[in-house]
Amino acid sequence: MPSVKFKYQDERFVYQKLIDQVNILCVAKGKDCLCTSGYRSLEKQKIINSQSLAQRKNQGGYQKADGSVWTSDGKCWAAAYGKSNHCYCIAMDITDSWFQALTNAEIKKYGLVKPMSYEPWHVQLLEHQGISLSQKEAIRNSVLKGADKGMDVKEFQAMSGLKADGIVGPATKAKAKEMLQCCQEILGNDFKTSEEVIRACMSSPEDWLVLNKMVSHFKDYTMNIVKRMGGKL
Ligand SMILES: [Zn+2]
53 touches 63 (CB < 8 A): yes
Q: Where are the domains of the chain?
A: 4-40+84-144, 153-229
Give the distance (Å) from ligand 1 centre to CA of residue 144: 19
Q: What is the pLDDT of residue 148?
A: 61
Give the distance (Å) from ligand 1 centre to CA of residue 208: 55
pLDDT in tens, 150-201: 677 887 887 888 998 989 999 999 989 888 888 888 878 888 899 998 988 8
Distances in whole angstroms, Cα of residue 185 to Cα of each of 84, 157, 162, 179, 220: 42, 21, 22, 10, 20
Give the distance (Å) from ligand 1 centre to CA of residue 78: 8
149 pLDDT band (50/70/90 cuts)?
A: low
Give the distance (Å) from ligand 1 centre to CA of residue 92: 6
86 pLDDT band (50/70/90 cuts)?
A: very high
pLDDT in tens, 119-147: 999 999 999 999 999 999 999 999 998 67
Q: What is the pLDDT of residue 153?
A: 85
Q: Please spell the DSSP secondary structure of the chain, one letter per residue.
A: ---EEESSGGG----HHHHHHHHHHHHHHT--EEEEE----HHHHHHHHHHHHHHTGGGT-EE-TTS-EE-TTS-EEEPPTTTSGGGGT--EEE--HHHHT--HHHHGGGTEE---TT-TTEEEEGGGTT--HHHHHHHHHHHHTTTT----HHHHHHHTTS-------HHHHHHHHHHHHHHHHHHT----SHHHHHHHH-SSHHHHHHHHHHSTTHHHHHHHHHHHHTT--
pLDDT in tens, 199-216: 888 878 888 899 899 988
Whether the model clears a pTM of 0.85, i.e. scores above it, the answer is no
Q: What is the pLDDT of residue 164?
A: 87
pLDDT in tens, 29-60: 999 999 999 999 988 889 989 999 999 988 89
Give the distance (Å) from ligand 1 centre to CA of residue 165: 41
Of the candidates 89, 69, 91, the one whose C-alpha atom is nearest the C-alpha of residue 80 is 69
The count of other CB atoms within 10 Å of the CB of residue 144 is 15
Residue range 73-100: average pLDDT?
94
Cβ neighbourhood burial of 187 (10 Å; 0-12, 13-18, 19+): exposed
Give the distance (Å) from ligand 1 centre to CA of residue 193: 54
Give the distance (Å) from ligand 1 centre to CA of residue 93: 5
Give me the residues near ligand 1 (ion), CB cutoff below 5 Å. Answer: 93, 122
Give the distance (Å) from ligand 1 centre to CA of residue 28: 23
Report how far residue 217's alpha carbon sits from residue 49's, in angstroms, rounded to the nearest whole number.
57
Of the candidates 1, 8, 17, 28, the one whose C-alpha atom is nearest the C-alpha of residue 95 is 8
Q: What is the pLDDT of residue 150?
A: 64
Give the distance (Å) from ligand 1 centre to CA of residue 37: 7
Give the distance (Å) from ligand 1 centre to CA of residue 39: 10
* Position 89 pLDDT exceeds 90: yes
